[in-house]
Amino acid sequence: MDRLNGKIAIVTGAGSGLGKAIGETFASEGAKVMVTDVNSESAKMVADNIGANAMAMHQDVVDPDGWQDVFEVTAKALGAPHILVNNAGLVIPATIEDCTLEQFRLTHNVMLEGVFLGCQTAVRAMKTNDQPSAIINMSSMAALQGYSPFLAYAAAKGGVRSLTKSVALHCKEQNYPIRCNSLHPAGIDTPMVRQAAVGADGEPTPATGMIPLGGLGHPNDVAELCVYLASDASRFMTAGEYPVENGTLYQPS
Ligand SMILES: NC(=O)c1ccc[n+]([C@@H]2O[C@H](COP(=O)([O-])OP(=O)(O)OC[C@H]3O[C@@H](n4cnc5c(N)ncnc54)[C@H](O)[C@@H]3O)[C@@H](O)[C@H]2O)c1
């Protein structure tokens, strides 16, 4: 498969779950991939497993200097980046009644400021690319429908949704070769969802409303859409928002 032949991609939070699947799928489609994560060990394992077309770097997405390093090292080692997937994330269970200001700020720091820094660094680096380029921001169905058990998470993902559209429109207005779209998964089987939505018996429970009717999705369900949105096949798609959730939005509660 060669849908991403010649492309250089950076995927954040790629040591686990969706990011890992996205990195692996990108490489299997011909891309060279920089796998970054705050967990250096898991990033290295993913890159080692992919082989010659991947490299790992420690990155905390809240660190502005770290973003410069990631783009510079990627450009030197693999080539000038054409694809950024802002995927890193965390979830803290807390409602409007018990969410602390620290929890709210930490969530926004990683998942909204981190995405802002990623988009800013990417636009500055990719605006002069001679190949079409793409930013994919991992939002959530929580951005579209709210999510009372994870208030701060839903708020940050809502920010990612509108940030994405503003970045996309700016690039279009400036005639930059960069498209920017957001993805809105729900109920995909990853360590994050297992931690947040699986009962004491280790099996998925619908109690938190995170499990789509029909069961959990596979990380590849998201990775496949990422390949499409990163590839030139989606050249006419920007500022869009794409659910991957098996009808969760429409299921009876
Ligand atoms: N799994 C789902 O159903 C689902 C649904 C909606 C949205 N998402 C989003 O998808 C993304 C990936 O989630 P996942 O389910 O694969 O979870 P996951 O916990 O398996 O992976 C998240 C990764 O992000 C990394 N990370 C956390 N904080 C970081 C930081 N400050 N800097 C760099 N890396 C950091 C973690 O180390 C981890 O490797 C997240 O943004 C999440 O909110 C997932």
pLDDT in tens, 239-250: 999 999 998 777
- State the pLDDT confidence band at 200, using cuts at 50, 70 and 90: low
pLDDT at 210: 65
**What is the distance of C-alpha 51 from the center of its chain?**
22
CA distances from 222 to 18, 62, 102, 114, 202 (A): 7, 24, 30, 20, 23
Distance between CA atoms of 141 and 131, rounded to whole angstroms?
31
Nearest alpha carbon to residue 8 among 88, 57, 65, 76: 76
Does any ligand 1 atom lie closer than 6 A to the CB of residue 248? no
Residue 19 CA to ligand 1 center (angstroms) comes to 7
* Element containing residue 83 per DSSP (H, E): strand 83-86
Whether 226 contacts 9, CB under 8 Å: no
Does any ligand 1 atom lie closer than 6 A to the CB of residue 185? yes
Helix (H, G, I), strand (E, B) or coil at 156: helix
CA distances from 152 to 44, 101, 244 (A): 30, 10, 21
Residue 174 CA to ligand 1 center (angstroms) comes to 31
Average pLDDT over residues 96-112: 98
pLDDT per position as a tens digit, 201-231:
666 665 556 677 788 899 999 999 999 999 9
pLDDT per position as a tens digit, 51-96:
999 999 999 999 999 999 999 999 999 999 999 999 999 999 999 9
Look at 17-21, 147-151, 219-223 and tell me which has the smallest mean pLDDT: 147-151
Instruction: Out of 192, 221, 241, 246, give the residue to mutate to test ligand 1, the one with the largest number of ligand atoms within 8 Å of its CB.
Output: 192
Decide if pLDDT at 181 tops 60.
yes
DSSP 3-state percent helix, strand, coil across the chain (nearest 5):
45, 15, 35
Distance between CA atoms of 139 and 165, rounded to whole angstroms?
12
CATH topology of domain 8-240: Rossmann fold (3.40.50)
Does any ligand 1 atom lie closer than 6 A to the CB of residue 16? yes
* Element containing residue 187 per DSSP (H, E): none
- State the pLDDT confidence band at 199, using cuts at 50, 70 and 90: low
